[in-house]
Structure 1
């Protein structure tokens, strides 16, 4: 039992008028400066029920501040009710209660039968966890464990008829308690930890004595060899044999199989093209796995999804396929082969951003246009700047087949006309003079 709180769950003769309900009293928590009130998903579900129920959001904001400042006293939890004394900022104290309907005996029977059927549920509860599938299985049995909108009913000596700052502060404080121990929720619903575990043990023992097999899990019902769901296995991790160590990252992508066999391919199948796709998939999978295992990967921004055309260009740039397959890639992307060649070169210089500059002539807004003109004016010493003809986002050197393209990202891309077509000839540069130097033919 956690030593942060005291427990009074002694049972007297349940048939006597003096029978007492189980109750747990939690010492006042310190201020919650610089932290949230709920980190577990079930604690957040508790707060969502509160925030969806309250009619006055400002009252809840005040309550959140009171809880954050440590103005909620010891919290008592018992079936159907939580109670605490909450102080306003002027030190006026109010007794606040929040009521949550207890589960009926019939619903508890259904919940206990369901939990006994799933060893992973019991293991998770013993580990002070409430996995989503436990709540989902309970709901399927007609038992709603977590409160929903309207379920948290307020009572306060300030005599507010809706959730006031004091009942709000109490609920925010209880969310912190739920984070650490989901048995608090079971107590409010009508069963304290000791009774709940005793009843689970009694049912498990009775089932074992009868020799009745536990009801199969949904995964087992799928047929032989279906196994156990990952969430259930993880919840029961402490009672399962240890898993083997995670294998080391391979030193290179897997090799694609060769499809050059004696038997001819089926109609419409191009073995060489299929081999290229398999090899590309292996390289991409290896790259994704390497990035996922790199420290700090979770802090990196998500990459945008490529369009069909962009992915076709990426494939051609990465694989450098033979001309026949390159022509098929261009056809699949709805482009001419020459268009694909130019796009591949752009991709090699700068990926999707370079491809956008190749294909789209955008109209800079006045601010972007002014910034571009300032950069052009400051890029060369007096008298050294070439004469440029401006056209939207493109500046062409007068008398030469050389061009600067100003991208939406504020960078400059060098282009040169080759066989009557403007082609990218280098990566982007923040300095237009530097970009232009990359477009000049070598002496």
Structure 2
């Protein structure tokens, strides 16, 4: 294999694997003619499959799907570790132009990134019954995918179960010191205030006998002496320290005031979103560094978390901090909704976990636990939260595009 950093080899290797799954030469020829003579919908590459659509007689639509076996998390870890150990790792895999060298399993821990014939399955809606037999539509999808790989093999990473940006991020961030890698973090008992779900329910009406308040006793207030004659000793472990207790007390008072004023409290889905809520308040600001350490965020990441909370509240913070698992139909409907708005409609939209990524437009939408889509923009190689979350993915996409427009200067 050539040592040059080209991409044509990816397409050739995939076509060879696709041809081995199609025993009938007539089906192969029909797939080629279908692309040459008939309109095809956009190619969508997702984790585990690639799909498109083709018109059929009587107004029907064929929806072929080329299903590819995904690599396991352990296999991906071995692949990324092998690539990261190369002195030219950034050059061959850390940019958009991925080298043909990685199409050779000897450069990826012996694990082939390009699927073999045994890893590929054909399904299509052009026939009344579901079979695994190749048809002209699924072969045409394979041709579309090979053409995409000829110039941008990164979608193959998504197809095999892990988007290319995971590897790029790993190559961009230096490894943590050996003593800190994998170290368990302590539970944030000193930072996390009690949530409404942990409060005992208060009965509407007590059945206990009411005890009358006793008469006030006569106290000698003149002879009293203050008990506290010096600073308090630090609380014993594992109790929080005195400043943390002060923060928890102030936060409890703040939450009590919200409950009295609005009769409701913000619901935080997890610890990370509760910390984002806490440090956004004046009494929680001193815990900003402790929050960064606990969540493993740098200064930029903490700034993005603050933006995510400002734009979307606790759900926005949760959506920023971790990927969520959602039904593929939700992603498919959202992808169809944003398709008319995309500046490059033929470019690939990556679907991973709860995220739709339009790299050509520099826009990402993330589906949050509150059923809203959160827009993100690519800033300096990082995804930054943008304002305008919405239950309508098209509206969230428009908000991201509006954020990207330069502001006009006023005279």
TM-score by length of 1: 0.36
> Highest relative contact order (Cα 8 Å, sep 6+), 1 or 2?
2
Larger radius of gyration: 1
